[in-house]
Each structure stands twice: as C-alpha cells, then as structure tokens.
Chain A
Amino acid sequence: MKILLVDDSKTMRTIQKSILTQMGHTEIEEAVDGVDALSKVGSFKPELLLVDWNMPKMDGLTFVKEYRAMDTSTPIIMVTTEAEKSRVIDAIKAGVNNYVVKPFTPDVLSQRIEETMTKAAA
C-alpha cells in the first residue's frame, strides 16, 4: 500500500515511517508541507495519507480541502497536536477519515491505520 506522510517535522516523519515499516509497509513517500504534498499526490497516487495540521506554507486542513476537491475516496488520517473537539470536527468536515493526537504510541497509530483501511474497504 502506498502511503504519503505529510509533516514538516523530519523527526515525526521518521518515527511514523519506522512504525509503518514495522507494519510491513515499504512504499512510503514524504512531503514537508501541504504544497509539497499536492505536488506529489498526482505522480505517487497514495492509497493512504497521514497528514499533520500545523505546517508552514500550507497547513494540513487546507491541504485536505484541496486534496478532497480532486479525490474524495483515498483515506486520510490527521496526525496532529490539535486535540480540541472543534478542531476534530473541522477536520472531519474537511474530509479526514480518522484522527491521531500527538504524542502517540506505535500501537495507537498502527491500530488507527488498520481501522481506517478496514472501514475504507467495507
């Protein structure tokens, strides 16, 4: 499964990539912000996106809205420090399928990914 990691923090991309690799995923692309992600989705064609919220140039919410204008079905999980209910609602309205709050354990992220993909396949 092709997965696009969108986070301005290289540390967080490294941690998420490590978790994904341990889950058996090897086709992983990285983007440093929403603009970078938009430039990569066309050629990479991800089957799952993990997206941070607070990023320079283009934040995660704006990216999700722009991406959803092109693709309404590919699952998106927001991985972010934004934990308030209002923010979660905003993300879901924008088209996010699931939500992981930082800090997270590897188990939480992997469970959320499996749950998202199971729902998407149903």
Chain B
Amino acid sequence: MEQSHILAFIKSTRNVFETMLQLSVEVGTPVLSTVPDSSFDVSAIIGMSGDLDGSVVLSFRRETAMRLVSIFCGTEVADDAEDLIDAVGELANMITGGAKAQLDGKKVTISCPSVVIGAQHSVHGSKDLVRMSIPCSYDCGEFTVEVAVRPSSASSQDQTVISSAEAA
C-alpha cells in the first residue's frame, strides 16, 4: 500500500463529511492494523478490484452511527432500521468512490456496499493484505476508516470474514 492511497481516503472522508453533512472531521494518525478491532457495532464494507485489490471498512459504534445517519437523512432513524444500513453504506460508497477518483491512472471498480450490524463485531480480511486504520472523529463521536489495498495480483483473492466478540 502506498502513502498516496491513505491520503486519498483521508481527503475523501473529509470531503464527504464537509459536503454532504456540513461536518468537520478530525483525522488521527493512520496505524497499521494487526488485530481487528472488536469494539464496533456498525460496519460498511466495500470491495475494490482492478489495478488495486482490497477492501475498505467504515466502522462506528452504534450511538455514533445513529447520530450521523440522523444528520445525513435529516430525520431521526430507528435502531437497526433499513435506513441506518442504507445511509452507512452510502457514506462508505462515497468515501471509497472519492478516494478512487484520486488514484491517478488506476482502473479500479468498487462493489456495492455490504453493511454489518452486530454488537462488538470485528471484520477480518486476507492475512496477506496490509491494513491501515485511519481514526476519525467529529462532533458526535469517533469512527474508523480501515483501508487494505494492494496492486492487483491475478492469483490472489480477498476474503473478508466477520466475527463477533462473543463467538471469539
């Protein structure tokens, strides 16, 4: 993974929040993620393929996601509602799409988002992918954008596994 990839996701995250939500995002120092964080309750996962393979995971604690989605939708949303899933997925879609557009000369396709809702789950990806976790915060709480991408290899496949802290 190149530094430019991480910078693209940082810039895109800020742009999405400022443009669609009128919220300023503080971005912390990206860290190498060796052990999946199991403190999240809502995660949106987007796959990437083409010149770059990998995945992007946008994760929140439940309360933070609920507040954020209420701002995004302009109304209060019910817990575990279809609206919550849709809005979080769309945020991940825009963040990933915006980052993709900054990857000069790279042809990359992104998947439709998958959203996981479950108390204290963790998202596991391929062990041979380097994962960088970008900690972010805004007025209503904290969230993480985890990026795991690499130049395409035709012989490898990315597998994403989700586990709950209770089952672990």
Contact = CB atoms under 8 A, between A and B. Distances in A.
Interface stretch (A23-31, A34-42, A78-86): A78-86
A101 B100 CA distance: 13
Contacts of A54: 93, 110, 112
B73 A11 contact: yes
Interface stretch (A67-75, A102-110, A111-119): A102-110
B94 A81 contact: yes
B89 A9 contact: yes
Grouping DSSP codes into helix (H, G, I), strand (E, B) and loop, the B interface class, with mixed when no group exceeds half, is helix
Interface residues of B, number: 23
A9 B86 contact: yes
Interface string A1-37: 0000000111110110010000000000000000000
Interface string A47-82: 000000011100000000000000000000000111
Contacts, number: 61
A55 to B, nearest CB: 8
Nearest to B106: A84
A12 B90 contact: yes
Q: How large is the interface on A (under 10, 10 to 19, 20 to 34, 35 or more residues)?
A: 20 to 34
Grouping DSSP codes into helix (H, G, I), strand (E, B) and loop, the A interface class, with mixed when no group exceeds half, is loop
B19 interface: yes
B98 interface: yes
A10 B93 contact: no
Interface of B: 15-16, 19-20, 69, 72-74, 82-83, 86-87, 89-90, 93-94, 96-98, 100-101, 110, 112
Interface of A: 8-12, 14-15, 18, 54-56, 80-84, 101-105
